[in-house]
Chains A and B, each alone.
Chain A
Amino acid sequence: MIYFHQLNKHYGDFHVLKDINLTIKQGEVVVIIGPSGSGKSTLVRCINRLETITSGELIVDGVKVNDKNTDINKLRRNIGMVFQNFNLYPHKTVLQNITLAPMKVLGVSEQEAKETAMYYLEKVGIPDKANAYPTALSGGQQQRVAIARGLAMKPKIMLFDEPTSALDPETIGEVLDVMKTLAREGMTMVVVTHEMGFAREVADRIVFMDQGRILEEAPPEQFFANPREERARLFLSRILNH
């Protein structure tokens, strides 16, 4: 589903992703962890070409992401993305936030888009907020709307970049619950997170990054019990003691 081969990325002189090799199969949940600045966000953002790459190969859903002839908007229909800061459209209601892309990109009717939106709002547990504006919602509710917005495009892949980092502790759980349900239903997910409980419970694989490299890749049981890399061990001890 997602295939990185010898991928490199630079910001000017700064080598942010180094020789990335990674294959993610359909239905897999991959959790990316690592210290701040290690390139986790950059890696995830390459998948839907929010970042361009310098060299190497990246194939998503059978399409070369960085090929000149790739219709990026078409590829992006199949990739939902959830951001740390939600990025809901503040001038639109919850419902309008969710129906915009299905109507403009997929060309579905307003009626159908609304029905789909309501279906996903039910799924994330806040159908009663359909006509509210984002600012009227708690962080956890906003993030659930953002997830519903992504799902309304019926994507094949969902990307999450620290979806709970901006949330109050008491609302983190509600967002993680929605993500766990998604994972159970077989969604292909790439998740950057510091929520180790979540990683342990739902990840098929943990990818540990440091200084632009993937240092370790392992199933969660193995990774958490006995990380191969010294740096991973250090990182875990630091984060788990918090």
Chain B
Amino acid sequence: MLDYSILIEHWDMYMQGFANTLKASVLALIGSLAIGTVMAVFRIAPIRALNWIGAAYVEFIRNIPLILIVFVFFVGLPAIGIRFDSFTAGTLGLTVYTAAFIAEVIRAGILAVPKGQMEAARSSGLTYLQAMWHVILPQAVKIVIPPMGNQFINLVKNSSVLGVIAGLDLMYFGDLISSETFVTFDVYIFVALFYLLLTIPLSLGVGALERRLAKSR
């Protein structure tokens, strides 16, 4: 039987951790969607230099561990005078890391839109960016919703990296409570439940969205 007194006594800490995990996830989600979209378009745009930048970003970032990227923001940049608090450093690291995966998802989505769509849009005089924005991306979004949902769930789970650098997230407070109470199992079970509180609705939401869009076609 779980020891609920731990949960009750440390409710404030759990809540603070939960709030910060939620906050880091939402911020990183918005940031990584923006960077990921830009990098995906870079990789596909008919400009060599941009293709190269996009490819370099994706290949570099997604092939190194998340924690190293977080360390860049936590100890690397401060060494040259750019300082962040640990929450910010963790969230930035998470954003930059997730953006590489999102870029690949969006790129696949863009490539899945039939070529004729871009041709029709461009032949009507729209610029490349206008065609991307008004014609291609809205169609790509529908295609990428399922894989994007997976990336968002990974993002929430990966936010636990903040715990390593004292980023005041769920994991951090879990560690703290555990070292105060000398209880491990129960403490982390509650931590896990709070993660599920974020990931399960996310997963259900993506599924619902997918079904709605499938119908609207």
A interface residues with partner B (beta carbon < 8 Å): 48, 50, 73-74, 76-77, 79-81, 83, 85, 87-91, 100-101, 104-106, 135, 146, 149-150, 153
* B63 adjacent to chain A (CB < 8 Å): no
Closest 5 CB pairs of A and B: A87-B120, A101-B124, A87-B116, A105-B125, A77-B125
B117 CB–A CB distance under 8 Å: yes
Residues on B with beta carbons closer than 8 Å to the beta carbon of A100: 121, 124, 126, 134-135
Flag whether B123 is at the interface (Cβ < 8 A). Answer: yes
B120-151 contacts to A, CB under 8 A, are: 120-127, 130, 134-135, 138-139, 142
A89–B120 CB distance below 8 A: yes
Known pairs A89-B117, A90-B139, A135-B217; A81 contacts B125 (CB<8 A): no
CB distance from A211 to the nearest CB of B (A): 25
Task: Kindly state the separation between the CA atoms of A52 and B123 in the bound complex, as whole angstroms.
Answer: 14
Q: Are A101 and B117 in contact (CB under 8 A)?
A: no
In angstroms, how far is the closest chain A Cβ from the Cβ of B125?
4
A73-B135 contact in complex given A87-B119, A87-B120, C-beta closer than 8 Å: no
Nearest residue (CB) in A for B124 is A101
18 extra A-B contacts, CB within 8 A, seeds A87-B117, A101-B126? A48-B123, A50-B122, A50-B123, A74-B125, A76-B122, A76-B125, A79-B123, A81-B119, A81-B120, A88-B120, A89-B117, A89-B121, A89-B139, A100-B135, A135-B217, A146-B120, A153-B124, A153-B125
Cα distance, A90 to B143, chains bound together (Å): 13
Counting chain B residues whose Cβ lies within 8 A of the other chain, the interface size class is 10 to 19
Known contacts A87-B116, A90-B217; A105/B122 CB under 8 A: no
> Which residues of chain B have C-beta atoms less than 8 A from A101's C-beta?
121, 124-126
Task: List, sorted by A's number, 5 A–B pairs whose CB atoms are closer than 8 Å.
Answer: A50-B122, A73-B125, A83-B119, A101-B125, A105-B126
Within 8 Å CB of B139, what residues of A?
89-91
Q: Which residues of A contact B124 (CB under 8 A)?
A: 76-77, 80-81, 100-101, 105, 149-150, 153
- The CA-CA distance from A48 to B122 in the complex, in Å, is 9
A83 x B120 contact (CB < 8 A): yes
Name the CB-closest residue of A to B213: A91
Task: Write out the residue numbers on chain B whose beta carbons fall within 8 Å of the beta carbon of A83.
Answer: 116, 119-120
B65 to chain A, nearest CB (A): 38
Look across to chain A and name the residue whose beta carbon is closest to the beta carbon of B123.
A81
Among B114, B122, B142, max chain A CB count under 10 A is at B122
Interface centre among B116, B120, B126, B135 (most CB of A within 10 A): B120
Using CB atoms, name the residue of chain A closest to B138. A91
Residue of A nearest to B139 (CB): A91
What are the residues of chain A within 8 A of B138 when measuring CB–CB?
Answer: 91
CA distance A167 to B114 in the complex (A): 19
Chain A residue numbers with a CB within 8 Å of B117 are 87, 89
* Cα of A131 to Cα of B114 in the assembled complex, Å: 23
Contacts of B126 in A (CB 8 A): 73, 100-101, 104-105
Which of B119, B120, B127 is within 8 Å of A73, CB to CB? Answer: B127
- Most chain A CB within 10 A, of B120, B125, B130, B217, is at B125
A221 to chain B, nearest CB (A): 32
Q: For residue B108, give the distance in angstroms from its CB to the closest CB of chain A.
A: 18
A105 to B124 CA separation, bound complex (whole angstroms): 8
Within the assembled complex, what's the spacing in Å between the Cα atoms of A87 and B123?
11
Give, as a whole number of angstroms, the nearest-CB distance from A207 to chain B.
21
A89 in contact with B135 (CB, 8 Å): yes
Q: For residue B135, which residue of chain A has the nearest CB?
A: A89
Which residues of A sit under 8 angstroms from B116, Cβ to Cβ?
A: 83, 85, 87
Contact indicator per residue, chain B 94-130, by CB within 8 Å of chain A (1) or not (0): 0000000000000000000010110111111111001
Q: Give the distance in Å from the alpha carbon of A74 to the alpha carbon of B125 in the complex.
A: 7
Contacts of B127 in A (CB 8 A): 73
Give CA–CA (A74, B127) in the complex, Å. Answer: 10
B134-175: CB near A (< 8 Å → 1, else 0) gives: 110011001000000000000000000000000000000000
Nearest residue (CB) in B for A73 is: B125
